[in-house]
Amino acid sequence: MDESLARWLRLREEADWAARSAALTYAIAAAVPNTGTLHVLDLATGTGSNLRFLAERLPSPQRWLLLDRSPDLLALVRARTEEWAAARQYEVRSSATGFSIRAERLSCQVETRRMDLNLLDEATPFEGRHLVTASALLDLVSEGWVRSLAAHCRAVGAAALFTLTYDGRSSCDPAEPEDDLVRGLMNAHQHRDKGLGGPAAGPDAMAAAERAFEDVGYVIRTDASDWVIGPDARDFQGELIDGWAQAATEQQPDAAAIIADWRTRRLAHVDAGRSRIVVGHHDLAAWPRRD
């Protein structure tokens, strides 16, 4: 069971939604067809955060296919979407291929499917899609993988929206002397192979994605989507700091004691309610050039 990842995705969902670029959400909603059913493909969907954010903001009716390699995370999509729907008085019902979400201005069919996205050469999920999207994915993939992704989007003429791609920036307040060291190690760790096409682009992912979509003739828009995490988000900050410490230690094991000491001081700031953390992300929207 991907319990720790499921917990992490729940903790970050609010910060993700607050951070996402409103301008690019509007731009992509204007770029996709607004007649007929909108077919959307969400890659590495996790527990479906990207569906819940976008469903209300895209033209309706919609039909979504959500892909992830984790059956445990996919199994949570419906329950988390039901919680979200209940807060809005939307109706969620079983359907032949999954479930549907219905509201006055929203009609959305949702299907989940287990798939290892390392096998991106499998073109089938892209067929007939008007929009291909993902959140918090691109920094995990290689440049070759993102080139293959761009080619698949181009082949079906789909618009693309990739949000919350880590760009290598972070700042902590109050600062600690080892913040730069830990960030540097973490950024190096981000380039390790995450099983998506080889060594990951990590903090260089946005540049790689821009090149890949430009090369297939797409119009590109980018915008910052930084997390700005306030002192009240103690659990979220704690998980983030733990993740950074773990990655930094894996990257430089002989710095383990320094990193452990840094972690203790950072967590003390969190516990005292005085910690603020900003993490740099970017969103990218792209659609086929029509000139």
Binding site for ligand SAM (CB under 6 A): 9, 44-46, 49-50, 68-70, 73, 116-118, 134-137, 195-196
Nearer to ligand SAM among residue 231 and residue 238 (C-beta): 238
Q: Give least dist CB 128 to ligand SAM, A.
A: 21
Q: Give least dist CB 119 to ligand SAM, A.
A: 8
Residue with CB nearest ligand SAM? 46
Nearer to ligand SAM among residue 98 and residue 195 (C-beta): 195
Nearer to ligand SAM among residue 199 and residue 288 (C-beta): 199
Nearer to ligand SAM among residue 65 and residue 178 (C-beta): 65
Nearer to ligand SAM among residue 57 and residue 274 (C-beta): 57
Q: How far apart are CA 264 and CA 270, in angstroms?
A: 10
Q: What does the radius of gyration of the chain's CA atoms come to, in whole angstroms?
A: 19
Q: Give least dist CB 201 to ligand SAM, A.
A: 14
Six-digit token string for 184: 């540097």
Q: Give least dist CB 134 to ligand SAM, A.
A: 6
Q: Give least dist CB 44 to ligand SAM, A.
A: 3
